[in-house]
Amino acid sequence: MPKTTPVPVPIPATLHPEGVSNDEFRAAMSRLAAGVCLITAHEPPLTPTGPDGEDVGMTATAFMSVSLDPPLVLVSLREGSRMDDLLAEQPLWAVSVLADHQVQVASRFSMKNRISDRLLFADLPHGRGEVSGAPLLTGALATLECRTENRVEAGDHTLVIGRVLTATLPSPDSPPLAYFRGRYRHLAG
């Protein structure tokens, strides 16, 4: 069988002043494998006598450890997103690091233009963080409860740095869910 050489995919050039286009940047960054997390928070009721408030969740791949002492993590939120707006007012939030069997959870919470998260949590096995009050997924590789320490504007995103208040390992031996080249992936063991 003849050996073929891959042909580079042409990328349209709408250049920033720095010289890189959105498409070039997106294509390059899609080659960086990332873990997948569910970021959650509990939105308090609008009035003291109103309904209980609502749980809010979003899928994130831009999440990382920042510091061991003190324990800090960082999540990147699209500026003006519901989670960005909520965490600007609500300092407590949580993270569930997703296992490979939780791909449907990742897909569910990455849907755009949804009206309410109430239905997304309805049949999802989860507990509630004792410190944050936010949902923590049953079967996650790890869960963290955090308090916002700092918010940094970065282009069209907000970098939220949180101090880790609790950490648990509900399902530490499950394989992780990964995101690579625009798709959720399972890692070979």
Bigger pLDDT: 26 vs 115: 26
DSSP string, the chain: ----PPPPPP----B-TTS-BHHHHHHHHTTS-EE-EEEEEEEPPSSTTS---EEEEEEES-EEEEETTTTEEEEEEETTSHHHHHHHH--EEEEEEPBGGGHHHHHHTT-SS-S-SHHHHHTS-EEE-TTT--EEETT-SEEEEEEEEEEEEETTEEEEEEEEEEEE-SSTTSPBEEEETTEEEE---
Kindly state the average pLDDT of the residues 136-165: 97
Per-residue pLDDT of 88-106, as tens digits, reads 999 999 999 999 999 999 9
pLDDT tier at 8 (50, 70, 90 boundaries)? low
To the nearest whole number, what is the mean pLDDT of the chain? 88
Instruction: Output the six-digit token pair for 104.
Output: 């449907």
Record the pTM. 0.86
Q: What is the C-alpha to C-alpha distance for residues 85 and 102, in angstroms, rounded to an integer?
A: 26
Per-residue pLDDT of 48-102, as tens digits, reads 665 678 999 999 999 999 999 999 999 999 999 999 999 999 999 999 999 999 9
Beta bridge partners of 90: none
Q: What is the pLDDT of residue 130?
A: 96
Q: What is the C-alpha to C-alpha distance for residues 40 and 86, in angstroms, rounded to an integer?
A: 10
